[in-house]
Structure 1
Amino acid sequence: MDDSIKRLLQRIIKRIPFEMLETTLEKWGRLTEAQRNSLDFTQSKWALTERLLAICEENEWSIKSITDLEMIYIIENPNLGMWNAFQLLDPDEGAHSVDLLQFKKQFKSHLSELIRHVSVKIKKHTDEAVWIRIAWGDNFSRPNHLKPTYVVHHLQTPYVFMTSLNSKLKPLLSQALILSTKHQTIKDANLRGRNLSSIRDLLMRQYQQEFPTKYPSPLAEKNQTLSNRHIEAEHAQAAANRHRMACEAFGRGTLPQLQSAVYKLETKFRDHTNKTMTEREEPFRCVVKFTSTNLLESFRHCASSGIASTPVSPLLSSVPSKGRNYFVVTDNGPGPTQLSQSQN
């Protein structure tokens, strides 16, 4: 058995959590009934790996068979890496009629013309997403299957999601995608995160947003004085207004899970007590990054609870409204600092 096949199988088995290993192997479908029965899942993962290596050698599995196992695991568990969103622009006349067979043929052909040694595997998932696994080589070395790039694309949409892509290889992949989807160019959508479904739903506007118009005030308790009822009514109205404005900015339903938002500031320094910085001709540059396990939920809570001021600043509300979490903030003339449309 080729050492590269052995290393890849060992790496994949190591990556799959023990409690998911049996079901993943069943979905793989490469093991005979006798071989499945020979696997003892009460043993250690090391012992199971050794048995699978023996079966691999017995069946003379190719690298293609092993990468099938990896793709099954990655497709079922997509939130293992950092996904970057891109948008295809200027579609040709036939862009909306590209089917899966045509896309697969064109993509493999174009990428093979751009780089001599490359391995491409394409699968269509049950949610109609096309998953692409790319193992890169170069003109002199074979593809490295230990460091593949994954790409997800919904046909007839302009959106593409990529993970584990070397910047040197990005132009090659971009050109192959442009040609195979019949578009003119591709740009960074300035949206990235670990939850693939969340950044997809945010970019494609597929998550449910509810914008309620009325919020009932809490019932007043009995035996309260008139002044207390007035104060509590005023507080309740203020809380309802904050909640309304927070929901108008972010929506009322379950929000996509983003982990970060980055703001690159290129603005004038404003502080009348610091003339040295204020009078500089060069803009003040810094980067502000917000992080959370669910950033949009955190923003909404801060606005609703009064931690952040309302109406919600465009600096925050632009994340869901523009479908981005990377911004460049510049001075647009003499007015207040605004969000720029500059790209990364």
Structure 2
Amino acid sequence: MGDSTKSLLQRIIRRIPSRAIESTLRKWGRLTAEQLQSIDFTQPKWTVTQELLDMCEEGNWTLKFITELEMSYIIDNPNQGMWYAYQLMNPEDDANSVELTQFKEQFKSHLKQLVRHISLKMKKHTDEAVWIRIAWGDRFFQPNHMKPTYAVHYLQTPYVFVTSLTSKHKPLFSQAMTLSTRYQAIKDANLSGRNLTAIRDLLMRQFQQAFPTKHPSPLAERNQTVSHPRIEKEQDGNAANRLELACEAFGGGTLPQLQSAVYKLETKFRDQTNKAMTEREESFKCIVKFASTNLLESLRHCASSGFASTPVTPLLSSISLKGKNYFVITDNSPGAASQPRRAQDK
């Protein structure tokens, strides 16, 4: 077993919480029942790591086995980095007929034609997602397994989610993805986050959406004494209306746990009391970021409780309605105009 294999195994074990090491190794399936039983998982992590390194040496485990361990852990714990969503564009006539085996063969073939030294591993998950692990090399260097790119693609859909893809490798990945899926282009969906499930549900509309209705549903009755029936009736009506508008803007039921939204402002400065700024030819630029453990839930609560005005401004409702969380606001558009971002070296 080479030094690179040992280093990768050490790095993977460091990432796995101590309480999850045993279950991860059992799911990996490369250790025998006797080997698993011989490991005392209550020991410090460095001791467990050394025992695994000894087993690797004895079993002459290959780099392939170690990457399987990493991939198994990442699939079960995807929220390890920043994920970026992309959308495939202009499907060809046979795009919907591409199946798993065909996609895997085509993707590997196209990418290996573009990169001389590269390591690819692909696995279909239980939710029909195809997980892709790419260790990049080049003409002179072997693949770097310490900094792999992970991608998730749902067959029969135009959506791809990627993490740790540098600007250098983005054109190569994009070309291989479009050719293997029978699409003609791929674009940035202007949606990113650390919670892969959240951005997937938001982009693929896998959450309860509410639509405008002329017959709003009344709020649930509250157990309290009504001292002023007319005032109480009016307040309930206003509250029901706010709740309906909030749900129309952000969705109903359980919402995707999106953690942030970014608005980049590029407009002329307008303030008659500040001529120095108003008369500048350059655009006024600033960035506004909303952050929360569950941003959509927070915004919906603000609107339904009256802390934010309703109807909800399109600047905020576009997060759910358009499935995006990055917007560029310019003078050329009355609302939130989305523009592609520069490549993210993450």
TM-score (norm 2): 0.93
Post-superposition shift, 1:287?
1.1
Percent identity between matched residues is: 66
Unaligned 5+ segments in structure 2 are: 342-346
Q: Is residue 64 of structure 2 the alignment partner of residue 67 of structure 1?
A: no
Q: Is residue 173 of structure 2 the alignment partner of residue 182 of structure 1?
A: no
SS of residue paired to 2:177: helix
Query: Per the alignment, do residues 217 and 126 of structure 1 end up closer, same or farther by CA in structure 2, a change over 3 Å counting?
Result: closer
Post-superposition shift, 1:96?
1.0
Retained in 2: the 8 A contact 1:217–1:237? no
Measure the CA separation in 1 of the matches of 2:87 and 2:144. Answer: 27
TM-score (norm 1): 0.94
Measure the CA separation in 2 of the matches of 1:273 and 1:203. Answer: 43
Paired AA for residue 93 in structure 2: E
Aligned match of 1:130: 130
Post-superposition shift, 1:138?
1.2
Aligned match of 2:42: 42
Aligned positions, number: 338
Measure the CA separation in 2 of the matches of 1:3 and 1:67. Answer: 14
Retained in 1: the 8 A contact 2:128–2:154? yes
SS of residue paired to 1:338: coil
Post-superposition shift, 1:269?
1.6
Post-superposition shift, 1:222?
5.0
Query: Per the alignment, do residues 203 and 217 of structure 1 end up closer, same or farther by CA in structure 2, a change over 3 Å counting?
Result: closer
Aligned match of 1:302: 302
Paired AA for residue 109 in structure 1: S
Query: Per the alignment, do residues 221 and 189 of structure 1 end up closer, same or farther by CA in structure 2, a change over 3 Å counting?
Result: closer
Query: Per the alignment, do residues 60 and 329 of structure 1 end up closer, same or farther by CA in structure 2, a change over 3 Å counting?
Result: same
SS of residue paired to 1:64: helix
Measure the CA separation in 2 of the matches of 1:285 and 1:129. Answer: 39
Aligned match of 2:152: 152
Measure the CA separation in 1 of the matches of 2:16 and 2:224. Answer: 56
Post-superposition shift, 1:238?
2.1
Measure the CA separation in 2 of the matches of 1:186 and 1:38. Answer: 49
Q: Is residue 235 of structure 2 the alignment partner of residue 238 of structure 1?
A: no
Q: Is residue 345 of structure 2 the alignment partner of residue 339 of structure 1?
A: no
CA RMSD of aligned residues (A): 1.7
Post-superposition shift, 1:223?
7.6
Aligned match of 2:344: none
Query: Per the alignment, do residues 221 and 90 of structure 1 end up closer, same or farther by CA in structure 2, a change over 3 Å counting?
Result: closer
Query: Per the alignment, do residues 181 and 219 of structure 1 end up closer, same or farther by CA in structure 2, a change over 3 Å counting?
Result: closer
Q: Is residue 309 of structure 2 the alignment partner of residue 312 of structure 1?
A: no
Deviations 1:118-146 (A, max 9, x none): 10000000111000000111111111111
Post-superposition shift, 1:168?
1.1
* Bigger mean CA offset, 81-90 vs 245-254: 245-254
Measure the CA separation in 2 of the matches of 1:305 and 1:31. Answer: 55
Post-superposition shift, 1:33?
2.1
Unaligned 5+ segments in structure 1 are: none
Measure the CA separation in 2 of the matches of 1:128 and 1:107. Answer: 17
Alignment of 1:216-295 (within 5 A): 216=219, 218=221, 224=227, 228-295=228-295
Q: Deviating runs (4+, > 3 A) in structure 1?
A: 216-223
Deviations 1:267-313 (A, max 9, x none): 22221211222233332211111111111111111111222111100
Deviations 1:131-187 (A, max 9, x none): 000011111111111111000001111000000111111111111111111111100
Aligned match of 1:214: 217
Paired AA for residue 198 in structure 1: A
